[in-house]
Chains A and B, each alone.
Chain A
């Protein structure tokens, strides 16, 4: 057989591949511009300019979060010529070793690229790229260095901006910034290594609103990646735009005052304007100076100390602490009882101490008195009627039906679910429903008597302080609320749309006046539990709570609103391990209310007593935190 003809098959093969490749190359190089665009993207001929972050004002127009200009000392290794390390170290106030280590650290910090295919490892570090040699220098620091930089080619200063807090308050609500992580950079192309991102609180929730728009400069680069000239005379360049300022509903005066009142105590204060849902103040004690977490240098210095502090200053208690509400829960129970029709305004129950302990008081013959005296047996009776409505023959099935109905009421009060305020890291609290107890005891294995402690706000029920304050706001509004929120307006726009929606509870407004009357008596009538919250010629309505704490002294809690007509402020105060609600939480609330409505305090003795009190087991800080660059 002759195989000579097969040479044509092989030649055809070669020419075919050559032909296909030519067509493909023509398509890739001449016709299709996708790859050209991709190459522009890769070669990073874009230079990004990050604008300063949006500033934040309080409700009275005080600038509470601003930016301060800092300087980075940048370095391009390729341009460094004959570096006199001794002189350079002297300029920086470093040792020669520190300078040398810093070079090594930058190179190491860039990581390595491992080529799986060839198995070669190359450093991501590039001599021709600019890296920050020292970050976040203050004006004073750079002004000693900058004049001499001309002797050190390859080094130059770059302007950057960082947060600055004129008031040292609201740290764990405002949140802080830190460098974007690898994952965040991969997820959102806005961020580049070294860029900051909102890490917690309002900064995190409003990250997109605050970060602004980056400016882009296109430059033509040579093979050596040196910028040669602006691309197309800057035709495609865009300028960086700072984000519109945020205006908070927060009043910095009472925020600061609240933090002063809460010093040397553990707990929190949340104040809301009932008519708008704007949060006026949110104090988490103990707190810290937000300036401690500005910039990489400060964070690496201070964050570990704050994190190990036993008083947990980083913990945003108003959002994340879930406490049993205690007696303040009776307000909601009363409203549900009235709405369900199982009691009426004039229902009376004997104070039967054999069921549950109570203090000595006259018998509550109506709901106002029950609120005023905070009678425990009364609320057992109310709750029993709510849960066991005798709608089903089986007692267990009846309890299941009743509890789920009760649960729906609770949800409508914003309890048992996250309130979705505009701040990151909120918890939802706990409101048990039938499914919850089924898990514990089994289906139809529980009834009212099993779960009765929830009727007085103990047991499984847990609320966050924000939810407690929202209850006060609901009662002040007689049955509805705007979801509590911090930001009143973003630039010229109002708050986010979800904060313009009125949420109605399942309790009609006609049931509220008797409860409000009860709350008025709590503060203003003899036999009320919160006489210490009284303010001259201002009617405060409130309710105390004393939360049994198996781990130590009881927690003191108080919610209130004022004035009684057309309320301007609703407030919740929670003081851990301080005892009876009327003793600590109530006077703190009244001072806050007075400060907000009158701007000054009449009863100086009351104020002094609170400020000087050293409650709880506040531990001494391990060592004083330092704030660098401020």
Chain B
């Protein structure tokens, strides 16, 4: 009894409640979207909502198991678990392809996707590897070692091929960044190989990963907006998409400068101003360069990029999904059309394919409007920040790193999935965690969450 009490006392309830709320929202949305009047019962296991509830029960059961097992096992068995998942990732390549990719082991509805569990395995091994490094972390060997843990499963996933999971695996780079395993030593080695150059530290090298991601994010948004015109109420006429991105950057910079002026210390002010101005120049230059570079491409090259980004006006192609998804989201308005009243994205009307899985944000946004979407975004923000707070309060490096892995994976899924619903990300099908219909994703995200909760609940036991 005492132990139970302690679990209840030690459990991070805000995170657990957010998790449960999301699952309930998710099942409610699946029920609305996939509603079949012939099987109106939400517990009907022939329908997707019934199945999703079944998966929820399985996930909660797995969560219970996780809580019963000693948390030390994850650190101890991180490497065997990793090897086991790797072997599954190899095995899956010999499976018959389903829907064009060899991503599934098993048959029909009972199949599992090893890539989903790969995320947990890599999280655990990365946490173990980095936590066990000696104090002197910034060596080429250490960076390469950590990178290899990611690269091997990434290559196997690319062979399936599963672009979505592949991209998600790059989220671990942020974890490496947090732990100081940046690419600085490699970049330094390259720079210092030039005769006469002797540097000890580069700012760009240390913050290489966030800078890279900002650059990629900006470029993709610029490209996605390249064909549209944006209307700013304070500008006399409509401007091109790339210009719109630059205008937005300037707006952000002004707000940030005002913020720093108001709240920053003197030292922060000068440094912050420098960073913001430099960032604005670099970011603006990048957007301008990408925009100009894209418009100077030959038509056939443009088409290839547009096809990749899902921009090409092809009614049966990628843009079909994106365009319809955006129509569904945008038509929600402020308060939405009401529960069970999604006219564009319901499965019955079939206008948005995959509206119960990858595009589940569509019916949610259509039914609940901006008020619903802002709640959803707030829930995610809360969950992600909460996980980072949890991470930072851990005494063991293993726990912290693992928590960061969970946060970054969820962040990636959130950013890309919502992004493709609002035209900010190319359509690479990855689920919205805890919302999208699907057993593998629900189980793997739940496991991830429960391992985190378990590790956190025992954080005070771990005294090393």
Contacts and interface: CB of A to CB of B under 8 A. Distances in A.
Interface of A: 1, 3-4, 6-7, 9-11, 13-15, 17-18, 20-22, 24-26, 28-30, 32, 34-36, 38-43, 45, 113-120, 122, 126, 128, 221-225
24 contacts: A3-B180, A10-B178, A13-B213, A15-B385, A17-B415, A21-B418, A22-B377, A24-B424, A29-B332, A29-B334, A29-B370, A32-B330, A38-B323, A38-B331, A45-B343, A115-B354, A117-B427, A119-B99, A119-B101, A128-B348, A222-B341, A224-B37, A225-B343, A225-B349
B177 A6 contact: yes
B189 to A, nearest CB: 18
B331 A15 contact: no
Interface in B299-343: 316-318, 321, 323-324, 326-334, 340-343
Contacts of A40: 331
A118 B353 contact: yes
B380 A117 contact: no
A387 to B, nearest CB: 50
A257 B333 CA distance: 68
B23 to A, nearest CB: 20
A62 B326 CA distance: 55
A536 B370 CA distance: 89
Given A35-B326, A113-B316, A6 B353 contact: no
A566 B59 CA distance: 97
B273 interface: no
Contacts of B213: 13
Contacts of A25: 329, 365, 370, 373-374, 377, 422
A39 B367 CA distance: 13
Contacts of B344: 39, 42-43
B258 to A, nearest CB: 16
Interface string B346-366: 101111011000100000011
B100 interface: yes
B316 A7 contact: no
Nearest to B391: A7
Given A24-B422, A223-B342, A13 B210 contact: yes
B459 interface: no
Given A34-B330, A117-B321, A224 B346 contact: yes
Contacts, number: 165
B98 to A, nearest CB: 8
B353 A10 contact: no
B199 to A, nearest CB: 16
10 nearest interchain CB pairs?
Answer: A35-B330, A119-B99, A119-B100, A39-B331, A38-B327, A39-B327, A223-B346, A29-B370, A3-B180, A28-B330
B169 interface: no
Nearest to B354: A118
B179 interface: yes
Nearest to A120: B99
Given A18-B380, A22-B374, A39 B348 contact: no
Most B C-beta atoms less than 10 A away, residue of A4, A9, A115, A126: A115
B166 interface: no
B174 interface: yes
B350 A39 contact: no
Given A36-B330, A222-B343, A113 B377 contact: no
Contacts of A24: 422, 424
B370 A26 contact: yes
A396 B240 CA distance: 62
B271 to A, nearest CB: 12
B370 A43 contact: no
B329 A35 contact: yes
Contacts of B32: 223
Interface string B82-104: 00000000000000001111000
A34 B391 CA distance: 42
A331 B231 CA distance: 69
A90 B324 CA distance: 44
A20 B333 CA distance: 18
B75 interface: no
Contact of B388 (A11, A28, A128): A11
A369 B417 CA distance: 91
Contacts of A28: 326, 329-330, 422
B113 to A, nearest CB: 13
Contacts of A11: 385, 388
B79 interface: no
Contacts of B385: 11, 14-15
A3 B397 CA distance: 13
Contacts of A29: 329-330, 332-334, 365, 369-370, 373
A32 B427 CA distance: 22
A230 to B, nearest CB: 16
B138 interface: yes
A223 B351 contact: no
B318 A117 contact: yes
A6 B181 CA distance: 12
Given A29-B334, A38-B327, A1 B373 contact: no
